Every structure is written in C-alpha cells, then in structure tokens.
Structure 1
C-alpha cells in the first residue's frame, strides 16, 4: 500500500511537466539576437521616436529580450546611437570626379549625395550629433566640404566658419525638403486660421508654390550658398 501511495500516475506527471516554463537559450539573450538586428530595430524605432524618447528598453522590448542583453553588443545607449550614425555615414559615396573638377561641382555632388542618403535613411540627420558629440562617421563626411573649400582658397578662421556654415545650411535645406517643404500645398491646410491680410498674402503666392519641386528648391538654395562662397573668395 505504501509503495502504491508513493507512485504518481502518468497523467499527474504529464500535467506537472506541462507547467514547467520552457528554458530560454540564455539569460535574457535569445539565440537570434545579433548586432545587425539591434541596429536595424533601432533605426526603425527612431523613425517613430525622438532621440530623447529612444531607449534601450524600447529596443529590447521590440526584440523580445531584456535591456541587459543589449550590453553584450553596445556598452551604452550613446554607443548604440553613435554606431547607427557610423553605419549610415559609411554608405556616403561621392561620385568619381575628374582631377580638374571645379570646387563648386564637388559641393553640388556632396549635397546631392547627402540628400540621397538622407532620403534612404530618414533618421540620418537625427543621429549625426548626440549630446553635443558629433559622430566620427559624420566628421568623415563633413571633411569633404572642408578640404574642398581649402582647395578653393579658404584658410584659417574663414575655412573653419565657412565649412561649418555650408554643412549646416545643407543639412537644413535637405531636412526641410525631406520633411515636406514649405512650398507643398498641404502646408496651407490651416490657412483659414490666419488673419485676412495674412491669408491674402499666401494665396497670392500659392500658384507659385504649387509649381515648385523639391529639386528646384534644393538647386536654388545650393546656388545661393555657392554664390556666397564665391563672393567671399573674390573679396579683397
């Protein structure tokens, strides 16, 4: 009787085994996790959240893991953001240029390449600088502008400030167009909330805005930027 009481029925054994949770492949680190997956997931999340709203916890949740697992690949949130920028910036490839190419054409090619890459990766401009620190990937891209202006004749303080201004203006111009430029008819959706005089002004301009294209605005803005540099070089 005692031996029989100690025995457990097959049904009870089966029920007990079903209650045991399945073992994970690692402590908070699924076997499918990889550096590439973390980067891809982070880029998708940054299309939805601001830099301030981006956290390792969100990345981990999206990957069905825990935040600590990500530290096996990136030591911090800042390191991950820097790697995202470098990953994107490595794909910046200028077209092959002849040895005697004018500096103006090199800058035009640089802006065109920047726009193409930013269109492919909308988060690019978000991650070029985090917490006042510029990524090494972006510095390599910006150096093309600096060396081009140096070859054009700028030096010292003039080289430093004009390189910085050109890259900032190019980023602003490209970003404005990718976000939906001011010329877009949809930007007048709330026109009726303005005073009558303001409405009349914008309605007067509306036919011209509707004729503009993103490329036309980019070309005009870039032409103005280059013309400013040419005037500075010609100044005594």
Structure 2
C-alpha cells in the first residue's frame, strides 16, 4: 500500500468518528458474521476502514479488546438485574437476559467460557449485585457463590443450546424418540409425543427458579 493510500485510510478513520463503543459494536458484528477466529485487529480495522494501528489508541492490545467484547454481552444483561428490588426477581431476570444475549451471539460463547468479564463497568455491576444480596441477608461468600452459579448456569445452558442441534427425525430427536418401543420406554415415548420437557426456555426457567429457592433457604443458614 502506498503512503498516499495509507494516508487516505488514516484520514477516513479520523473522519469516521471512531469511539470505543463503535469499535466494540463492529467487533461483535464481525464475530457474528464470520466467527470468533476471524477477529483480528487487522480484520477489524478493515471493517472500520482504518489502519489496525488506529485501534490501539482505544485498546492497548487484543486482550483489552476481548475484555471489552466479553463486557458487551454481560453488561447487556445487567439492566435486567437492576430492574427489581426483589433479589430473586433480579437474579432471575439477569439469568434470562444473559442466556438470550449469548444465544443472539453464539459465536461469542468461546470467549464467554474462557475469559472473565473484568472491566470497570462490569465490576460496578457485580458490586451492585453483591450489595443487593448482602443487604438481603446473604453472607458475602454465599452472595458471590449465588451470582457466579447463576451466571455459569446461564452460560453453560446457552453453550448446549447453541451446539446441540438435533433434527426431530435424527437419533435423539422427538420424532425418533416417539417411535421407540412403548412397552420398554413408556414415559420417554409419551414425553416425545406430547412434547413434554422439550422447551429449552421452560427448562432453563425451571432450573433457575429451583436454584433461587435453594439460595433463599441457605442465604442465612
């Protein structure tokens, strides 16, 4: 690339009104379209029509960019946690929002399972949640266990939902299960025919509700 073209690209980058948020939005869009492995500073710069080096003014290294990207997904679920004064409702809504956010961006799941969200904004959300829980009788350690348990369950459930895709007629699918030997598997075949227990969101909500009931019993014990 000639110096003239390099200058043109830099010039367009300056006029493009780059911001930290715009870069993160572009990174998430890139991952959604092309997968997590496609995310490099160079490919992100090309998407934004700037030199890759320009991005380092906003993120000192790729690790900082990844931290910001993980923060994008987790912080999108945080408002649901702050929307209620009831700790059970707050954690339930947070878990649901986190699961839905991850399923909207399944390519980001490897990042969600391998990199903790530790930006200042995320830490502020965690601090606020711990304050809410301890104000409601949780010892600090159990408050942190409760928040982490709900988060890990939401992430794990989203991973399974995104990766385990079985056609109804394939082995393990509902139609396949409905055709099993009824005398040997009466309950499995009935569940498959009635589509009982197959809804992912229903299962997720039931499990979260059960966790919260248990936390309620143990929070002051």
Give the alignment's TM-score, normalised by structure 2: 0.66
- 1:57 equivalent in structure 2: 42
Change (3 A) 1:72 1:25: same
| 1:26 shift after superposition | 1.7
| 1:121 shift after superposition | 4.8
8 Å CA contact 1:85, 1:128 repeated in 2: yes
- 1:233 equivalent in structure 2: 219
8 Å CA contact 2:197, 2:203 repeated in 1: no
Counterpart check, 1:218 vs 2:198 = no
> Larger RCO: Structure 1 or Structure 2 (Cα < 8 Å, ≥ 6 residues apart)?
2
Which shows bigger deviation, 202-211 or 31-40? Answer: 202-211
- 1:29 equivalent in structure 2: 10
Residue in structure 2 matching 1:137, options 104, 121, 124 = 121
What is the rounded CA distance, in whole Å, between the counterparts of 2:93 and 2:215 in structure 1? 16
Secondary structure, in 3 states, of the residue corresponding to 1:93?
helix
Secondary structure, in 3 states, of the residue corresponding to 1:31?
helix
Unaligned runs of 5+ in 2: 174-179
What is the rounded CA distance, in whole Å, between the counterparts of 2:23 and 2:86 in structure 1? 42
Change (3 A) 1:63 1:190: farther
What is the rounded CA distance, in whole Å, between the counterparts of 1:223 and 1:110 in structure 2? 12
What is the rounded CA distance, in whole Å, between the counterparts of 2:113 and 2:120 in structure 1? 10
- 1:149 equivalent in structure 2: 133
Give the alignment's TM-score, normalised by structure 1: 0.63
Aligned runs of 1:19-98 on 2, under 5 Å? 23-24=4-5, 26=7, 29-32=10-13, 33=16, 34-35=18-19, 37-47=22-32, 48-50=34-36, 54-91=39-76, 92-94=78-80, 96-97=83-84
8 Å CA contact 2:74, 2:98 repeated in 1: no
Change (3 A) 1:164 1:26: same
RMSD of the alignment, in Å? 3.9
8 Å CA contact 1:24, 1:30 repeated in 2: no
What is the rounded CA distance, in whole Å, between the counterparts of 2:216 and 2:207 in structure 1? 14
Change (3 A) 1:208 1:228: farther
What is the rounded CA distance, in whole Å, between the counterparts of 1:26 and 1:188 in structure 2? 57
Change (3 A) 1:73 1:232: closer
How many residues were matched structurally? 203
